[in-house]
A and B are shown apart, each in its own frame.
Chain A
Amino acid sequence: MGIAKRLVLGFAAVCLAIPLAGCWDNTDINHRVLPVVMGVSKKEGVFRVFLQIPEPGMNRLRIRIVSETGNTITHAVDKISTNMEEHVDLLHVKIILLDKNYAREGVNDSITDFMRAREISSKALVTICDEELPVFFANVKRAMEQRGSTLYDFFEKNAGWNPQIALTRVWQVYRSIHSYTRDVAIPIVRSGKSLMIEHRGSAVIKNGRMVGRLNGDETLLFNAFSGESTQGRIEVMKSASVLIVSNTLHNRIGLRGRTPYMTSVLKLQVVLLETRGNPTNEVIMNELDELLTKRFMTMFQKIQSKQADILGIGQFYRMIIPRERLANWREDYYPRLEMNLRVQTNIQNTGFLNSP
């Protein structure tokens, strides 16, 4: 084939590629609005969607809150998009804030739709709001415009995240809806009085419905159990407070008839932060072991009674229990589970002072 003919063919191929690519539908970044937080509430079958849109000015960040109602979430977002001068692009949504009542009712449909449409990143965090969404957004807007920060910094591991806060993504909630053996905990927030937002523990979500609550200390244990690296501080009741610097977990599982049992050893490396009086290291260690074991067992009984397996213990039994029976894990096996947790702490460091 001659060079000229080849060039003509190549040129024709490029010309064909341009109309086939559909690139005229691309919207430049300055013609998109990029909401960071999306709030969803549902009252009497009608969704109300809030979008928090940061609007960068020349020297300060402004926050714009828009809301719209609709029979579906997409419908509401569409209405917003129609009424705004720019195209609403949900790809940058980092946090999905669900109304508490809506969460109790069950968020299966919404989460499934998020996963289906892929308009919202499946990595977006899911949280529950403990107050009315309009109130929350109004308060947060006021606080944030003063500080120039955005809400999601609160959940960023390299920014404001604390080990007392559960981190759960859209895909994890979706997994919990469909998995036989895994549930999730998602954080609960409300607007704070002196600070921007206030963390109010975690919600226990079972099959997409909120069934219970954990407080911050219990969430810390939940995070430690899930292997999230925690730098959590724990107050030992009487004598000291310590900082967890690393944690490892060893599990042993078994099935006795229809009763599953589990022995877990949680090893914590801690650093001494404060002491009251002159407790010895042994005293602190023993108190810590006792406190954490008790706290864990309380939490575990709570979630066990709700049949919500947020720790994912059922995952360990996937190779033991056949799949058809595994479908009843939450109802048949999980409530009977005998949990035996031992906490072993090691005081790695007593700071710059010698401990007695």
Chain B
Amino acid sequence: MEAFLQELKRSLGSNDDLFEMQYVFLGQVVTLLGYTTLTDISMTVSSLQQQEHNARGSRVGEEAFWHTIGSVHPLSVRLAVSAVLDGQVVLLIEGRTAMIVVDAVQRELTRAIEAPSNESVLQGPIGSFNEDLDTNLGLLRKQACTDSMRVLNYSAGVAQRKRLSLIYDARHADADMVGKMIAQIEANLDREIATTQTLSRMLGFTKWQAISKFNTTELPQEAVSAMTKGKVVILVDRLPIAYVLPNLLWDMFALENDRNYTVPIMIIIRTIRVIGVLLTLLAPAFYVALVAVNPEVLRIEMALSVAVSREGVPYPAIVEMLLMLVILELIIEASARLPKSIGPTLTMVGGIIIGQAVVTARLVSNMLIIILAATTIANSTVVGFQNSLSIRMFKYVTVILAAMFGVLGIMAGMVLLCSYLASLHTFGVSYINLSFKGEIKHG
């Protein structure tokens, strides 16, 4: 018993927030062990004392009492360590070879359920996932409210043990695909899953994907709708997002929340998103192609006005375009990094540069500013920030090809992009499947 305590303390290391206290319950001397930073000790002890008092009153035997306050296990250092790290308290009874893992009162270390911070919801359920896995699971249960939802819990990682849950709808999900995923997860439980990158390594995806294999969402509504479409949701403790697998092309354009509007409005909203993606990919490329390579495509009035706007611009169109695109990327990145109170300064300064100064200085044409503004705005219409990043990257492919081969290059770029998208597949499901319902087309 004493030896076990020493060994347990050695494996937990010397930590100042580790507490070890002796109490007497039902005449037995017990030792409580846990982290003060994870557990509320005074609350835990007083709840234990309350239970002891009740046990005395109802004349419950000593053995039965130990079972009411927690789960009784044989002595095991590994189990005790993981219980303590999980914020539970280990109770050791003098002279016995068993330990009790007491479900202690936790310190409040998770924020409340709040509105999503990366996605905004119009006229829809607004509560979003937070860092606590159980809260997130609860949100899913509450949202789905179905008997066919299945939850599988795993604990993965060696250095950092993280909990991971795999949730699917048994009625809709393809058993074959779910089976493959479970096998993959179970085979790789020793991998770390602290970030999306490590999680995708665990699921066996390559690191070099331009498009995320996961569709991420903060909204229980979207996660549940994905489940009813046969997809699988993965939640990781301490990550306030749900990973939806497999990610499909159409997820870039469709939100479940669109269905809170009438059908014509839904169709228009989604069409706008498709236009947004096409505009992001094509507008800068067309500017470069039409200005530098194929001006004959423009109507003469347009050609003349573009020529006037470029009068005195020193660089070729491609340099001009890349210069401004890079500045724009810098602004976007900087505004993501800056604290919210300094953000407006950046927007203002960026607005001055991009808005007027750069045109007045004759560095770029004002036509380019229009194209740039349209591109940036269009870029943001896409559903999901990770998709918007991918599209932002793809536009450079079309721009560079357009600079070399003109309008033909744009077409080549689009063909390249389409063939790349067509080559992607996740657990046997092709990325360009439009709908997931019914028969799954295995790639």
Contact = CB atoms under 8 A, between A and B. Distances in A.
A29 B310 contact: yes
Contacts, number: 68
Contacts of B298: 29
How would you classify the secondary structure of chain A's contact residues: helix, strand, loop or mixed? mixed
A21 B404 contact: yes
A324 interface: no
Contact of A30 (B290, B300, B311, B404): B311
Interface string A17-44: 1100101001111101010100000000
The 6 closest A-B pairs by CB, nearest first: A91-B296, A21-B404, A30-B310, A56-B304, A23-B404, A29-B295
A89 B295 contact: yes
A54 interface: yes
A29 B311 contact: no
A94 interface: yes
Interface in B278-316: 290-293, 295-296, 298, 300, 303-308, 310-311, 313, 316
Size bin of chain A's contact surface: 20 to 34
B70 to A, nearest CB: 49
Interface string B215-238: 000000000000000000000000
A57 B304 CA distance: 10
Contacts of A26: 292-293, 316, 403, 406
B250 to A, nearest CB: 28
A34 B404 contact: no
A150 interface: yes
Interface in A34-79: 34, 36, 54, 56-58, 61
A222 B305 CA distance: 37
Contact of B405 (A21, A28, A29, A89): A21
A318 interface: no
A238 interface: no
20 contacts: A3-B208, A23-B293, A23-B405, A26-B293, A26-B316, A26-B406, A27-B292, A28-B317, A29-B290, A29-B310, A30-B311, A32-B295, A34-B303, A34-B307, A54-B304, A56-B305, A58-B308, A61-B304, A89-B296, A92-B295
B206 interface: yes
Interface of B: 206-208, 290-293, 295-296, 298, 300, 303-308, 310-311, 313, 316-317, 403-406
Nearest to B305: A56
B120 to A, nearest CB: 37
A121 interface: yes
A312 B311 CA distance: 48
A92 B307 CA distance: 13
Contacts of A21: 404-405
B152 to A, nearest CB: 31
Contacts of A61: 304
Contact of B404 (A17, A89, A92): A17
A107 B311 CA distance: 38
Nearest to B403: A23
Nearest to B300: A92
Given A23-B403, A29-B307, A56-B305, 12 more contacts: A21-B405, A23-B405, A29-B295, A29-B303, A29-B306, A30-B307, A30-B308, A30-B310, A56-B307, A92-B296, A94-B300, A152-B300
A21 B296 CA distance: 19
A34 B300 CA distance: 8
Nearest to A25: B293
A29 B292 contact: yes
A89 B317 CA distance: 18
Name the residue in B290, B292, B303, B313 with the highest tally of chain A Cβ atoms < 10 Å from its Cβ: B303
Contacts of B311: 30
Interface in A80-120: 89, 91-92, 94
Contacts of A29: 290-292, 295, 298, 303, 306-307, 310
Name the residue in B206, B295, B306 with the highest tally of chain A Cβ atoms < 10 Å from its Cβ: B295
Nearest to B295: A29
Name the residue in A17, A28, A30, A57 with the highest tally of chain B Cβ atoms < 10 Å from its Cβ: A28
A30 B403 CA distance: 16
A18 B304 contact: no
Nearest to A30: B310
A201 B305 CA distance: 34
A92 B405 CA distance: 19
A56 B296 contact: no
B323 to A, nearest CB: 15
Contacts of A150: 300
A177 B311 CA distance: 42
Given A18-B404, A29-B303, A91-B296, A3 B206 contact: yes
A269 B207 CA distance: 70
Contact of A121 (B207, B208, B291, B296): B296
A228 to B, nearest CB: 22
A17 B397 CA distance: 13
